[in-house]
Each structure stands twice: as C-alpha cells, then as structure tokens.
Amino acid sequence: MSKLRIVLDRAVIFLKRSIVMGVISGMIALSSSARASEVTLQVAFVYNFIKFIDWPTETPSTSSSFPLSSSLRLCVLGANKEMHEALDQLNGKSANKQTIELVYLNAESLASTPLEHCQMVFRSSRSTSMVLPNPLPKGVVLVTNEQAQDDLNASIVLMRNGEGRIEFEINQSAVAQAGVKISSQLLKLAKNAQVGKNQL
C-alpha cells in the first residue's frame, strides 16, 4: 500500500472523527501525521475537499464536445516533480461517486483544455506565471496553496499556522460564484469558520 494511500485513508478517518466530534482540530491534526511529507498532506487535503463538495449536474460549461461525465476533472497548475508524483495517485480514485481525472495544465494546454472543463483547479505553487480568468467559469472551484490574500477567486486556501501545520480557509463569496455546495461539516473545519463570532 502506498504512503499516499495510507495518508488518504487516515485523512478520511480524521475528517469523519472531526465531523462527529464537531472540532476543528481533527482536520488540522492531519499535518502531524508521522512520515508524511507536506506535499502528501496537501494532496490528502485536496482529496478530502473533493469528497465534501457537490457540483451542479449541469453548468454553462457543459457541452456536447466536452460533456459532464462520471469523471471529476482535477486540473493542476504549477506542480513540481514531487507534487506531480503525489497527485498521480489520485488519478482514477473514487470520490462522491465520481472518478477523479487528473489534468495538468500549462500555458499551452490551457488553450486546448479551458478551465471551464475542470471541476476543481489546484494551484499548487504561487510561482506559476499562468493568469487565471476573473471571474472563474461557473462550476470551477479554485484551491490554492499559500496564495496572496487578495486572490478573491480562490474558494479554498491552504496555509500554515504558527506551528507549521496545514490549515485552510474557505472563501464563501468565491464558493457562491462557483455555484457549488460545500458540506456544512467541511465549513466547520475551516480556520475562518468562526469569523464574526470568535476569532481563531
């Protein structure tokens, strides 16, 4: 069994426990998993995000030339070799009764595979020079890794806390723009879940 698969399985267990117990610390505890690299943990988070997001059955991007299918297209920008290898293990994995289909995008491939053909876009590196459209097409959820605070297109942002653990914030305005539904359980696990009540 691969290291990533073990971490993914642990991630699911941690997330389910967090939902049952109603505590934010469970998801954050993923970043303490022994022997798991940061890249592997980022991929585990992305996989769990997919499991707790419902995409509309039809979007304006659905067309006869690229119909919505049982596959969920995870498009990736800025993946280095280690990230590429970790993400490859998600290809063909099941989530939400759909099969994850990985698509790696660069400036050239973006012309033949526009973003509206993706359900989720993971920008794994802030160093990528690719410019994303603003606003993003409907049905597209952007997940970024340590992106600038003014990136209003990002629905979910991975970040590190003071102890170096991975956390995430959810931008509900971007989620609304995407037209998707995020599970209330996942919303409770976000770092900014208590904004307006108790600052974390």
Inter-residue contact 27 to 189 (CB < 8 Å): yes
3-state secondary structure of 159: strand
Cβ density class 53-74: b for 16+ within 10 Å, e for less:
bebeeebebbeeeeebeeebbb
**Closest C-alpha to 101, from 124, 79, 117:** 117
Strands 98-105, 94-95: pairing kind: antiparallel
**Average pLDDT score over residue span 66-80:** 78
Q: pTM of the entire structure?
A: 0.75
The pLDDT value given to residue 11:
63
Where residue 134 falls among pLDDT bands split at 50, 70, 90? confident
In this prediction, residues 30-35 reach a mean pLDDT of 44
Mean pLDDT of 145-170: 82
In this predicted structure, the answer to whether residue 122 has a pLDDT above a threshold of 90 is yes
More confident residue, 196 or 13: 13
Residue 26: which pLDDT band, with cuts at 50, 70 and 90?
very low
- For residue 88, is pLDDT > 90? yes
